[in-house]
């Protein structure tokens, strides 16, 4: 039977594995297990009414192929948060232990019936699967369950579609959605047009259906392909503007720091704590989709830029990585990546690995080395000493901060200052007082080794970047400016 698995296939290194596996009987392993505490909690009756108007009622289902029971539940809990972020009400979460997802129906075909019973009992109108399903898996599940079925990828794309604000962000999301839809066009075209019925239009097709809109779903692939290439060109044109802006910053020799990390880790909060930027902070996944750049200074007074970026998630749909290329390039082109980790998360190492995976993917695609990484554990105010000790051990060299209380922020400023590229050209110059702006630049961008005010100007020995060295060359003392 495909649904049974060999016992030693799951002996992971984790010390949790033994305990949780030991508790599970073989038979129970392949059954659908209810994950407790997943249902969306409603605050009061008015909220119930409000939600029922616009929300989907969803049942989540995951296939647990590896790792511990705890991990599989954490994965489904994250899916629940994603579903809620997209505006769904989570009624039930189920996990099936299996070697690998069933090629035909994702969960074992015998379990589809059980799942169907749960769907009917709870009155759900949508099933969300914790993975990326093939077009035919989606089709077959929908046919058997008689409700809409979407996968994790569609869910994440949906959240991005809801949160995109800028024209560039909207185009990027639409590109990703169309790429996702293209191979699924036939299967979805039938079921969607029937099920979405009267709710079509106004971008209100519900979870997984917002964005490109149904009329487009029913057009043929050629038109979608045409739209895809049009969007690609638009995004390309917009990223030229961005590159120019970035180019200006680099030619000014202002080092750049990119803040990357798992969604909801506190990246925007950290940007605010470091610069007082006032960027949107929200307890929601993927609150930030547009990169915000602010200038700030190291404790020594050197200016650098800090850019807040879109958050990552486990199994970030590759269509999004592709579509958000220009945004993610901010990270790849930075002089330093500040990798923010949510210290209060129950499985922070998952977050770290997922983020490093995406960073690695960006690096591979560009075939270039990624900038150095400074790991910052945030939310130290909201976690235990024990969890922090564990993280100190797991992430040597990390800085521990709380964007809320401000603890550790000064140390973080110092560490960033230390890790920024050092100016590498030593100059020995006498700058006339009328060129005070050059002296100011040396103070801002360079490192002063010696400064003296003489009758004919400011005498400076300093380390600066090549472009500033060029501007100072005319004032070199004894012609030794390099």
Ligand X SMILES: Nc1nc2c(ncn2[C@@H]2O[C@H](COP(=O)(O)OP(=O)(O)OP(=O)(O)O)[C@@H](O)[C@H]2O)c(=O)[nH]1
Binding site: residue ranges? 261-268, 286-290, 308-311, 378-381, 402-404
Q: Which is nearer to ligand X, 187 or 343 (CB)?
A: 343
Tokens describing residue 380: 């130290």
The site partner of 362 among ligand X, Mg ion, none (C-beta below 5 to 8 Å per kind) is none
Which amino acids are annotated as binding site for GTP, given as ranges? 261-268, 286-290, 308-311, 378-381, 402-404
Tokens describing residue 18: 């033994």
Q: Which is nearer to Mg ion, 176 or 271 (CB)?
A: 271
**Strand 336-342 to strand 373-378: parallel, antiparallel, or no bridges (unpaired)?**
parallel
What is the rounded CA–CA span in Å between residue 398 and residue 393?
Answer: 10
What is the rounded CA–CA span in Å between residue 355 and residue 350?
Answer: 9
Q: How far is the CB of 287 from Mg ion (least distance, A)?
A: 5
**Strand 303-308 to strand 292-297: parallel, antiparallel, or no bridges (unpaired)?**
antiparallel
Within residues 248-277, the interface with Mg ion by CB under 5 A covers 268
C-alpha distances in angstroms, 65 versus 72, 101, 104, 156?
9, 8, 16, 21
The site partner of 286 among Mg ion, ligand X, none (C-beta below 5 to 8 Å per kind) is ligand X
Q: Which is nearer to Mg ion, 172 or 268 (CB)?
A: 268
Q: How far is the CB of 279 from ligand X (least distance, A)?
A: 8
Q: What is the helix (H) or strand (E) element at residue 80, kind and residue range?
A: helix 69-85
Of 134, 131, 127, 179, the closest CA to residue 150 belongs to 127
Q: Which is nearer to ligand X, 126 or 292 (CB)?
A: 292
The site partner of 351 among ligand X, Mg ion, none (C-beta below 5 to 8 Å per kind) is none
Q: How far is the CB of 289 from Mg ion (least distance, A)?
A: 9
Q: How far is the CB of 263 from Mg ion (least distance, A)?
A: 8
Of 160, 167, 94, the closest CA to residue 127 belongs to 94
Shortest-Cβ-distance residue relative to ligand X:
311
Regarding 288 and contact with Mg ion (CB under 5 A), the answer is yes
What is the rounded CA–CA span in Å between residue 328 and residue 365?
Answer: 11
Q: List residues binding ligand X (CB under 6 A).
A: 261, 263-269, 281-288, 311, 378-379, 381-382, 402-404
Q: Which is nearer to ligand X, 282 or 300 (CB)?
A: 282
Q: How far is the CB of 262 from Mg ion (least distance, A)?
A: 11
Compute the CA torsion angle 424, 428, 430, 436 (nearest 10 deg): 20
Q: How far is the CB of 278 from ligand X (least distance, A)?
A: 12
Of 221, 60, 59, 205, the closest CA to residue 135 belongs to 221
Name the segment binding Mg ion (CB under 5 A); options: 42-50, 130-138, 147-155, 285-293. Answer: 285-293
Binding site for Mg ion (CB under 5 A): 268, 287-288
């Amino acid at each position: 039977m495909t649904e049974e698995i060999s016992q030693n296939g799951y002996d992971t290194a984790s010390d949790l594995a033994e305990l949780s596996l030991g508790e599970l009987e073989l038979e129970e392993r392949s059954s659908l297990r209810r994950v407790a505490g997943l249902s969306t909690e409603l605050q009061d009756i008015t909220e119930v009414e409000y939600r029922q108007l616009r929300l989907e009622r969803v049942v989540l289902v995951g296939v647990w192929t590896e790792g511990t029971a705890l991990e599989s539940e954490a994965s489904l809990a994250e899916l629940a948060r994603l579903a809620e972020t997209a505006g769904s009400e989570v009624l039930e979460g189920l996990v099936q232990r299996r070697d690998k997802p069933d090629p035909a129906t994702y969960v074992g075909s015998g379990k589809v019936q059980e799942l169907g019973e749960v769907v009917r009992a709870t009155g759900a109108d949508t099933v969300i699967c914790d993975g990326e399903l093939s077009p035919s898996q989606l089709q077959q599940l929908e046919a058997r369950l008689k409700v809409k079925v979407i996968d994790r990828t569609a869910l994440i794309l949906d959240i991005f579609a809801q949160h995109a604000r800028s024209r560039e962000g909207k185009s990027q999301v639409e590109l990703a959605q169309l790429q996702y839809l293209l191979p699924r066009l036939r299967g979805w075209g039938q079921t969607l047009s029937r099920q979405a019925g009267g709710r079509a239009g106004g971008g209100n097709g519900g979870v997984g259906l917002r964005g490109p809109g149904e009329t487009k779903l029913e057009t043929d692939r050629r038109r979608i392909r045409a739209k895809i290439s049009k969007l690609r060109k638009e995004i390309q044109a917009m990223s030229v503007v961005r590159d120019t802006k970035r180019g200006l910053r680099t030619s000014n020799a202002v080092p750049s720091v990119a803040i990357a990390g798992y969604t909801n880790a506190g990246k925007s909060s950290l940007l605010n704590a470091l610069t007082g930027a006032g960027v949107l902070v929200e307890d929601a996944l993927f609150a930030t989709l547009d990169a915000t750049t602010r200038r700030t200074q190291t404790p020594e007074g050197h200016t650098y830029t800090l850019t807040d970026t879109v958050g990552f998630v486990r199994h970030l749909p590759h269509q999004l990585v592709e579509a958000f290329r220009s945004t993610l390039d901010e990270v790849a082109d930075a002089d330093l990546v500040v990798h923010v980790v949510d210290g209060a998360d129950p499985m922070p190492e998952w977050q770290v690995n997922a983020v490093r995976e995406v960073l690695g993917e960006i690096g591979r695609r560009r075939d270039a080395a990624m900038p150095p990484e400074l790991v910052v554990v945030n939310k130290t105010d909201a976690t235990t000493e024990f969890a922090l000790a564990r993280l100190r051990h797991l992430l040597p060299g990390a800085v521990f901060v709380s964007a809320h209380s401000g603890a550790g922020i000064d140390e973080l400023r110092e560490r960033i200052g230390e890790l920024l590229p050092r100016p590498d050209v030593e100059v020995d110059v006498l700058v006339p007082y009328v060129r005070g702006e050059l002296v100011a630049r040396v103070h801002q961008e360079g490192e002063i080794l010696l400064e003296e005010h003489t009758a004919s100007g400011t005498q400076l020995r300093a380390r600066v970047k090549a472009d500033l060295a060029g501007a100072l060359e005319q004032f070199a003392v004894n012609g030794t400016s390099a």
